[in-house]
Structure 1
Amino acid sequence: MSLNYSFKGKRVLITGGGQGIGRQLVQRFHDDGAVVLALDKNPETIAQLQKELPKVTAVAVDVTDWEATKKAIESFGAVDHIVNNAAVLIMQPLMEITKDVASTHFDINVLASINIVQTAAKGMIERGSGGTIVNISSIGARGAAEGSSMYAATKIAMEMLTKSMSLELGPHNIRANCVGPGLVDAPLARIKSPHMTRAIEKVLARNSIKRAIDTNEIADLVMFLLSPLSAMINGETVMIDGGFSANY
């Protein structure tokens, strides 16, 4: 097989599709001829998405609302590929973390993915069609950074959840992998916080490639992992971090 694959006609579900990495993923799959099914909490970004890409099916829904999310996904019909991208990062020092903020991180960054995969994968199993899942992790799962303990905890949890997905869904020909980005040129990296500023400085200092990652570069990797080109990659986290992880 050559290093080319088309998602034309494939039905791709993307959460957090209104901005950042999610918006770029929507664009790339749309341009490749896929049937794109996008979820985002923000009605304004969904409206803008529908205006710019009218062929995309986009729904405003809070993924922490399991019932509303389930209904939205069921309304889409068949799903071939899932990208769990929706996430939140609220910077708080350890001694200032509140229960509400901790719960928000886990509800959005981890638990919502369970509901999303259960709902979409049920159809894959019933149809016997198989499918693929990519969950977005983070370089934050590789080490601690001041002010982001809850975000990091959810991302390492997502990586283990992905392994469980790969184990239990693999017999149904459904693969699940993680992508672990480093510093991405996206809204999360533009949060105005001294903790974020210091974290970015440390990442760029340790990177061997001294720049932020373009969202298109994340999309390249996601599309590879969703495609048959990666047919025997399952339960893995593939880092894309400009050499951060290699530098000890």
Structure 2
Amino acid sequence: MTKTILITGGTRGIGAQLVEQYLQKNYQVIATGSNPNSVDQARKLKPQVHWLVCDLSVLSDVETLANKLEATKLDLVIHNAGVQQPRNYVSSALYEVTEHQETMINLTSPMLLTRLLFKNVQSAQGAWVFVTSGLAIAPKQSSAVYCANKAGLRVFSKSLRAQITQNNQQVRVCEAILPLVDTDMTRGRGRGKISPEQAAREIMAGIERHEKEIRVGKTKWLMRLRRLFPNLAESVMLRA
């Protein structure tokens, strides 16, 4: 029987790689993009995907997406979409992405979609995957909102897993913790990035192994360092 997956933010970066690799595994892929132009371009490249426009910073778009999928069993949902807006609270600068928009995309919308689509995943005895970041564990000073969002998503996934266990539900919850990945979001920032292809492969492998915490790339070392020297990684990142 063909399995169905929903991937948010599927038009580029890690999301586009997840779309590609799950198509190769013969999944029925449903994917979202934030605007009609990006979705139209993606549809031309991969017409076999069920593409949906959904701006996750807009509540009505999130609700419309859930309504469109009301009768769809979902074996897997990957909350992949994200945005990172560096900002300096000491200055009075204005930024392209507001705190509200950033938090809606990174944190609020994944939580809302989890509630609105829970029965879709429950009926398939499927899995939720929350894509977080090593910055949820060791935040950096230049992206306070993004770090807070990812930390919140990490905690939400843990609480959700506990609720599911408490209620004896046959649903899995995974957290995929990413290092720095070479995407549009990180262009011009950082070194030692991994490719979106590698990130997608490692996420998928962790899901297949039923890992609760999928440590992608260098986050394996981050977690070991944190265990041995609890304050060192955070201290280094906050100075970065």
The TM tier, using the shorter chain, reads: 0.7 to 0.9
Is residue 66–residue 115 contact of structure 1 (8 Å, CA) maintained in 2?
no
- The whole-number CA distance in structure 2 between the counterparts of 1:95 and 1:136 is 29
Is residue 182–residue 244 contact of structure 1 (8 Å, CA) maintained in 2?
no
Deviation at 1:243, TM superposition (A): 5.7
SS in 2 for 1:136: strand
Please name the residue that 2:197 is paired with.
216
Q: How does 1:1-248 map to 2 (within 5 A)?
A: 9-76=2-69, 77-96=72-91, 101-125=98-122, 127=123, 129-170=124-165, 171-190=168-187, 192=188, 197=189, 200=190, 204=191, 211-227=192-208, 229-230=209-210, 233-234=211-212, 236=213, 238-241=215-218, 245=222, 246=224
Could you tell me which runs of 5 or more consecutive residues in structure 2 were left unpaired when the two chains were aligned: 226-231, 233-240
The letter for the 2-side match of 1:238 is R
Residue range with higher mean Cα deviation, 51-60 or 66-75: 66-75
Could you tell me which runs of 5 or more consecutive residues in structure 1 were left unpaired when the two chains were aligned: 1-7, 205-210
Deviation at 1:216, TM superposition (A): 1.7
How many residue pairs match? The answer is 219
- The whole-number CA distance in structure 1 between the counterparts of 2:156 and 2:86 is 23
- The whole-number CA distance in structure 2 between the counterparts of 1:243 and 1:163 is 18
String of CA shifts for 1:50-94, please: whole Å, max 9, x gaps: 111111001111123334323323423221100001111111123
SS in 1 for 2:6: strand
SS in 2 for 1:54: coil
Is residue 133–residue 226 contact of structure 1 (8 Å, CA) maintained in 2?
no
SS in 2 for 1:94: coil
Inter-CA distance 242–114: structure 2 relative to 1 (3 Å threshold):
closer
Deviation at 1:133, TM superposition (A): 1.1
Deviation at 1:244, TM superposition (A): 5.0
Q: CA RMSD in A?
A: 2.3
Please name the residue that 2:236 is paired with.
none
SS in 2 for 1:147: helix
Q: Percent identity?
A: 21
**TM-score computed with the length of structure 1 as normaliser:** 0.80
**TM-score computed with the length of structure 2 as normaliser:** 0.82
- The whole-number CA distance in structure 1 between the counterparts of 2:16 and 2:179 is 18
String of CA shifts for 1:134-174, please: whole Å, max 9, x gaps: 11111211223231111111111110000012112342211
